[in-house]
Structure 1
């Protein structure tokens, strides 16, 4: 089935509901409005309720999505000990930026376009996920020094003002079992250390010699 193009005219039926023009347009085109409206009504908040805040506080990782001013997207993983994402209040969460490869892809996008999407998933116990969408800003380490403690890896923070919070259902979430992580700190094997796991540097070095 081919779909009509999205235009200002065809998208003018948008009402005051969460979501984008595109999703509302497709709901009409594919006749899923009733299901979508029930989901918005039953599951979407503009803040974190207590159950959501508790969920965030025990997460050890989050998938972060950003885009630059031209809409070019990037997604990344942020991880840390349980509680590394701080819930300041029902409308504000903060997560740390640790020292990394220096590329600053996510932070660079946030500077151009503050919209950010966070997805946190419990793969081990409840098999459920939580989406948190909002507007982000970059804060210096000192602004939330009480959360950093003695962890000198934290260089700055990302502060997210919550605009949408909603469930990611468990239907297709795989169950995973946590195991102790083996870290090969003392090895000279580049692949085992993870620095060039996909062989990109090795390939570039080889091609440069050819």
Structure 2
């Protein structure tokens, strides 16, 4: 069974066939479907991620999507098939935790707006309580947040989407850094121009005095 079957159920395949895309995705399945192991390119992507959307569902199938954020790289690789991140203290609704008590299937949706990339990851999620060593391993260094537990995401399949329809957005710190670099460059050029003008003025003054002496 190809890994893509985790998303391409019979109902999904029927919809693809009806709308003309089944043959294309059948070729994807023939090549093995979605990836199932954490690869270096996924690791590199995770290293730049500071925001994610975590989806779970309760026993009746009611979905819930929760934003997860932290410093870049807050989602870490535990082993070749497992991701992990600290569960920071928040609004204490605990909808995700309640869903996990009934249904451990979960989904991570990762966006990179700056480079117009997105990654989808299917798997199972486990909340790990009272494991200080694991929590210390997953807690971002110097991040001002209180971790309550560790979350382990066991990857079953993942895929990269095309950039179509993804708007390009740049994070505020990156924009601020670019503007600061521009302002610093402008200041340096203005100082250089002022220095050149001062030298020219000094040269003109010397030339004028030399002319007076000559006369």
Same fold (TM over 0.5): yes
Distance 1:37 1:95 in 2: 34
CA deviation string 1:107-159 (max 9, x = no partner): 211121011010111111x2111111101110125233233256551111211
RMSD of aligned residue pairs (Cα, Å) = 2.1
How many correspondences in the alignment? 166
Asked if the contact 2:119/2:160 (under 8 Å) is kept, the reply is yes
Q: TM-score, normalized by length of structure 1? A: 0.72
Q: Is structure 2 residue 137 aligned with structure 1 residue 146?
A: yes
Distance 1:42 1:167 in 2: 14
Higher helix share: 2
Asked if the contact 1:53/1:90 (under 8 Å) is kept, the reply is no
Q: TM-score, normalized by length of structure 2? A: 0.70
Tell me the equivalent position of 2:109.
Answer: 119
Q: Which runs of 5+ in 1 are unaligned?
A: 1-14, 181-210
Q: Which runs of 5+ in 2 are unaligned?
A: 174-215
Asked if the contact 2:138/2:150 (under 8 Å) is kept, the reply is no
Matches within 5 A, 1:100-115: 100-115=90-105
Q: Is structure 2 residue 145 aligned with structure 1 residue 156?
A: no
Matches within 5 A, 1:177-192: 177-180=170-173
Tell me the equivalent position of 1:24.
Answer: 13
Tell me the equivalent position of 2:22.
Answer: 33
Q: Is structure 2 residue 175 aligned with structure 1 residue 175?
A: no
Q: The residue matched to 2:98 in structure 1 has which SS?
A: helix
Matches within 5 A, 1:27-66: 27-40=16-29, 41=31, 44-66=34-56
- Following superposition, the deviation at residue 50 of structure 1 comes to 1.0
